[in-house]
Copies of this chain bind each other. A is one copy, B any other.
């Protein structure tokens, strides 16, 4: 009878053949999508093509991702998770002054997404749309699905706690988020060698930020 033991003591939520197949299908979709997105960009890749390459039927994709946008967003979120993990592993950075932290964070993001410029760029702007599922600026009203903002919130809260900056509330996150948008926009249009100009802008901007902080610009 080969131990039927009610399917692995209910430890993993993934055990039955059904869930196995489901997972496998999802991975096939993700693999195909990522490859095509990288090769041809987001807009130029059709859902039909993804399905063909994944070896599934037209409609199956939409059983897993509500829209093509959702599928693309998946990678975006994954990237953010990656960033958070990295920051938490950098113990030195944790104690550095806020501007340095922000520089490191943003810089790391730019480096990370460099190979997927077109792809990420498209997703990035998708995420800004008003009625899109995640909207960076709706900290309070929406459900804060953008993990990035949550992360920035933490970083700012830490700086607050060690008295580096006064209480900034949501406005701090708001500011950083907006700033990030600006940087990415600049980055996307930057054709200079190795995005030098964006890095320079990033540096200068954060220096300005420091000044504002030092001069008490926060208690407006």
Contact = CB atoms under 8 A, between A and B. Distances in A.
- Interface residues on chain A, size class: 20 to 34
B204 A211 contact: no
Interface stretch (A60-68, A97-105, A133-141, A148-156): A133-141
Total copies of the chain: 2
Contact of A137 (B122, B129, B185): B185
Interface string A117-155: 010011001001110000111100100000000000000
B207 A211 contact: no
Nearest to A128: B125
Contacts of A182: 137, 174, 178, 181
CB-CB nearest 5 A-B residue pairs: A178-B182, A121-B130, A208-B220, A137-B185, A125-B129
9 contacts: A121-B130, A125-B125, A128-B185, A135-B189, A137-B186, A174-B182, A208-B220, A211-B220, A212-B217
